[in-house]
């Protein structure tokens, strides 16, 4: 009988998407074929302490309040050991592959990928640099622009230059409706739609709570939101395009819409659109994936203007796997179940690890498979 692959599923983290990450992890765990995989669970608390499998399992599977174990871990942390917050990973032997599902910073910005790289163990998803590039909206847009991939016009605001930009000055460059977005945040956190100086000042103050780089972004006319799922390494495949129909009274697809109350939001899979537009979005999605050097998976978000022009919004390297997340839903609509999708992602992780091992002659895997 073949040995089961030992998968370490990481979730939680210190970002605003902590609870979303837990819901994604639960769906992934439930969908994993336990005849193929032995799964260890690692919850990263908001204090950035990784709990052991027992405590993580109690929180994720048995609905024990996280605060109980988070407080215990914090109180018992060895302050003299700089590696104490990740020490529980070392208690879990023979990990074959890491499956990170930490949304937002630490999980999608290249941080946790750097740890996996140092440990010389395969992991699901993109590497250090691609993750960091995709997570930073400013860097993403610079790369897209370099490759001629359409995205919205913007002006970068920082603590050093924001006082030079009033709403009137920005509106002359970007129009009378502007979106403020933290460069390194996800799930619509810290985003504000502003129409005047008062809204601009309040929105900017809030946005700076989440990042020191803020995008003042041009709004497009009559936008509709679309998403496409990408799967693969060197030869990625795209799903059909999905549409997000937000209630007219909502300003945009908010965190509330995405993860708390989606009752007013309608998802179209596949999206009702012309074949020409679907092909253009697919082409742009794959081009974005390759330009950012992404691997494993990503969800590429689009805005389409009233005249039918698509713009790339952002790339999500560890997209949600909640019950209302479009990444797995789009693949499911094409006959790829959650379970089979997870199988593919794990296979892609091993393939990328093998590929990178060949490229680095000084890189000797600690574990011989």
Q: Out of 131, 187, 229, 239, which one is annotated catalytic?
A: 187
Q: Out of 15, 16, 17, 280, which one is annotated catalytic?
A: 17
- Give the tokens for residue 318: 């560890």
257-284: buried (b, 16+ CB within 10 Å) or exposed (e) per residue? bbbeebeebeeebebebeeebbebbbeb
92-129: buried (b, 16+ CB within 10 Å) or exposed (e) per residue? eeebbbbbbbbbbbbbbbbbbbebbbebebbbbbbbbe
- Give the tokens for residue 148: 């001629």
Q: Is 187 a catalytic residue?
A: yes
Q: Out of 126, 229, 239, 325, which one is annotated catalytic?
A: 325
- Is 301 annotated in some ligand binding site? yes
314 beta partners: 301
Helical residues (DSSP H) of 46-120, grouped into ranges: 53-62, 66-75, 87-90, 111-119
Say if CB 134 and CB 109 are below 8 A apart. Answer: no
Distances (CA, A) of 125 to 52, 345, 347, 349, 352: 23, 8, 11, 7, 9
- Is 314 annotated in some ligand binding site? yes
Residue partners of 31: CB distance under 8 A and separation at least 6: 337, 338, 339, 341, 342
- Is 233 annotated in some ligand binding site? no
Q: Is 275 a catalytic residue?
A: no
Q: Is 188 a catalytic residue?
A: no
Q: In what order do the strands lie in the sheet with 237-245?
A: 266-268, 237-245, 224-232, 296-304, 310-316
Residues noted as catalytic:
17, 187, 325
Annotated binding site: 301, 314, 316
Annotated binding site for Mg(2+): 301, 314, 316
């Amino acid at each position: 009988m073949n040995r089961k692959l030992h998968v370490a599923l990481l979730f939680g983290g210190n970002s605003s998407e902590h609870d979303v990450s837990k819901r994604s992890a639960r769906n992934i765990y439930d969908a994993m074929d336990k005849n193929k995989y032995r799964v260890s669970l690692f919850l990263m608390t908001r204090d950035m302490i990784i709990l052991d499998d027992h405590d993580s399992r109690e929180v994720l599977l048995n609905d024990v309040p996280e605060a109980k174990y988070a407080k215990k871990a914090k109180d018992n942390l060895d302050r003299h050991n700089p590696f104490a917050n990740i020490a529980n990973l070392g208690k879990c032997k023979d990990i074959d592959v890491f499956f990170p599902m930490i949304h937002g910073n630490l999980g999608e910005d290249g941080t946790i990928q750097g740890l996996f790289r140092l440990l010389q163990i395969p992991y699901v998803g993109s590497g250090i640099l691609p993750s960091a590039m995709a997570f930073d909206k400013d860097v993403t847009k610079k790369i897209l622009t370099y490759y001629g991939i359409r995205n919205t016009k913007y002006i970068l605001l920082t603590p050093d230059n924001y006082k030079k930009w009033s709403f009137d000055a920005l509106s002359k460059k970007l129009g009378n409706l502007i979106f403020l977005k933290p460069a390194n945040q996800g799930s619509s956190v810290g985003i504000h739609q502003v129409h005047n100086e008062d809204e601009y000042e309040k929105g900017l103050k809030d946005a700076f709570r989440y990042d020191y780089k803020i995008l003042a972004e041009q709004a497009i006319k009559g936008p509709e939101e679309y998403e496409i799922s990408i799967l693969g390494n060197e030869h990625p495949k795209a799903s059909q395009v999905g549409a997000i129909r937000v209630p007219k009274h909502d300003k945009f697809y908010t965190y509330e819409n995405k993860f708390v109350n989606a009752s007013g939001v309608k998802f179209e899979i596949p999206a009702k659109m012309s074949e020409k537009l679907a092909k253009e979005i697919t082409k742009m999605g794959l081009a974005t994936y390759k330009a950012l050097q992404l691997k494993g998976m990503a969800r590429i978000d689009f805005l389409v203007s009233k005249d039918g022009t698509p713009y790339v919004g952002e790339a999500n390297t560890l997209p949600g796997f909640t019950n209302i997340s479009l990444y797995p839903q789009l693949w499911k609509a094409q006959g790829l179940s959650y379970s089979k999708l997870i199988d593919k992602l794990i296979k892609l992780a091993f393939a990328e690890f093998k590929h990178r091992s060949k490229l680095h002659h000084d890189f000797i895997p600690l574990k011989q498979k």
